[in-house]
Amino acid sequence: MKSFTKVAMASLLGLAVLSTTAYADVAKGQKLYTKKLKSLCKTSGAKFAASYTQMEWETAKDEGKLTEAFTEACPGGEEMFKGDKFKNKYESHIYDFVYEYASDSGNVPSC
């Protein structure tokens, strides 16, 4: 049993660190919205995300106009959206969140 446990543990550890890829995260984006933006936007994450359709969010991202789109959806957060920290650290997660819960996504953040 002990050898089995050790082998399983070692295998999982090896597999886990074999490759690490940075992914944006919907749940993280939702958490960041509540924590950093809700008070600035004065609206729920669901409403913020539903400001645009998935295609509109995607187009804004592709054209490098996410800051403008975010600002239009939440004028109170303009300063934050323009900051380097937001762009480097939060933007991808917030994008994943808004795309997941866009107006035409048929998804809702919580029950």
Residue appearing with tokens 């795309």: 99
Choose the binding region for another protein from 4-12, 58-66, 73-81 (rule: CB under 8 A).
Answer: 4-12
- Is residue 36 within 8 A of residue 80, CB to CB? The reply is yes
Binding to another protein in span 26-45, by CB under 8 A:
26-27, 31-36, 38-39
Long-range contacts of 17-26 (CB under 8 A, 24+ apart): 24/92, 24/93, 24/95, 24/96, 25/93, 25/96, 26/93, 26/96, 26/97, 26/100
Residue 8-27 contact track with another protein, rule CB under 8 A, x = bound: xx--x--xxxxxxxxx-xxx
Q: Using the rule CB under 8 A, is 59 a contact of another protein? A: no
Residue appearing with tokens 């082998």: 7
Residue 51 C-alpha from the chain's centroid: 15
Pick between residue 15 and residue 64 the one whose CB is nearest to another protein.
15
Binding to another protein in span 92-111, by CB under 8 A:
106-108, 110-111
Binding site for another protein (CB under 8 A): 1, 4-5, 8-9, 12, 15-23, 25-27, 31-36, 38-39, 106-108, 110-111
